[in-house]
A and B are shown apart, each in its own frame.
Chain A
């Protein structure tokens, strides 16, 4: 296991590369999802403020 983590002496390069990539992809996904949720809530408030909608939403 420690041999695996050592990456043939290149642990200081291999693991940061995987770490940065994972962090960047996770952060982008998280931020995108949070923006979507925030807009959904905002739209629900904006539409709720003027009564029920006349027709079903087309969103799935």
Chain B
């Protein structure tokens, strides 16, 4: 894991992955939208509203996936003092918050015509709302301190404590009675969804994943630059007339 700890190595890796991620995101979103809006059939019960699924479900998957990543990065930062993990966690939480926001809004827009309500305080919807607040809390904590290492530490603890919420979200539809339907794809037997609907779903999910990679790389780069700027300022404040040896090596 420490092989990726070196910022220079990360920059090289990111530089080689980045153009492919951009190309993948554009291609997957374009083909995914084509299948989602034009090719896939309407649902025999839900009519055209089923097309909301092609954004809602990938956004929900990514909301959970990003959170697990956030928790792994936080553990790496707390336990192994991995020098990139703090930056990765800080870079990822706004992306996760965005995915969760998209999931909640599209779910609401799907719930109104199909369930007859925009919102209901059941286990699935409430636990996803809690996930959104965890992300917002993480963003706030990570930026709350003048000393970025203190902010990163508090945010990492929040992220790890909040990990409890992930299995609650996943199994909420099985543990409690809810308006929300249970999983159709991640089942032990075959997915309970027709291939004509599975195709746009998988394409959109892959598009969300590529988008996540693109934005994560951009944001980690920005965090690395900020760390270098801070080191530069500290060095300048420490020795105003002297040479700034070492500051630019960060």
Contacts and interface: CB of A to CB of B under 8 A. Distances in A.
A35 B222 contact: yes
Contacts of A46: 229, 232-233
B122 interface: no
Given A17-B109, A21-B55, A29 B229 contact: no
Interface in A7-38: 7-10, 13-14, 16-18, 20-21, 24-25, 28-29, 32-33, 35-36
Contacts, number: 99
Contacts of A53: 248
Main secondary structure of the interface of B (DSSP, over half): helix
B225 A43 contact: yes
B218 A36 contact: yes
A60 B202 CA distance: 32
Contacts of B102: 20-21, 24-25
A13 B49 contact: yes
B225 A7 contact: no
A50 B239 CA distance: 13
B52 A13 contact: yes
A14 B15 CA distance: 37
B11 A28 contact: no
Interface in B78-100: 94-95, 98
Nearest to A50: B244
A24 B12 CA distance: 29
A14 B36 CA distance: 11
A23 to B, nearest CB: 9
Given A10-B47, A21-B59, A29-B214, A47 B110 contact: no
B37 to A, nearest CB: 8
Contact of B211 (A25, A47, A59): A25
B51 interface: yes
B57 to A, nearest CB: 12
Given A16-B109, A17-B106, A10 B218 contact: no
Interface string B94-126: 110010011001100110110000000000000
Given A28-B94, A43-B225, 11 more contacts: A13-B110, A13-B112, A20-B109, A29-B211, A29-B215, A33-B218, A39-B225, A43-B232, A46-B232, A54-B248, A60-B12
- 9 tightest CB-CB pairs across the interface, nearest first? A60-B15, A8-B48, A39-B225, A58-B8, A7-B48, A36-B222, A17-B106, A17-B109, A21-B55
26 contacts: A9-B47, A13-B52, A13-B109, A13-B110, A13-B112, A14-B51, A14-B109, A16-B109, A17-B52, A17-B106, A20-B105, A21-B59, A21-B105, A25-B98, A28-B95, A32-B215, A36-B221, A36-B225, A39-B222, A39-B225, A43-B228, A43-B229, A46-B229, A46-B232, A46-B233, A60-B12
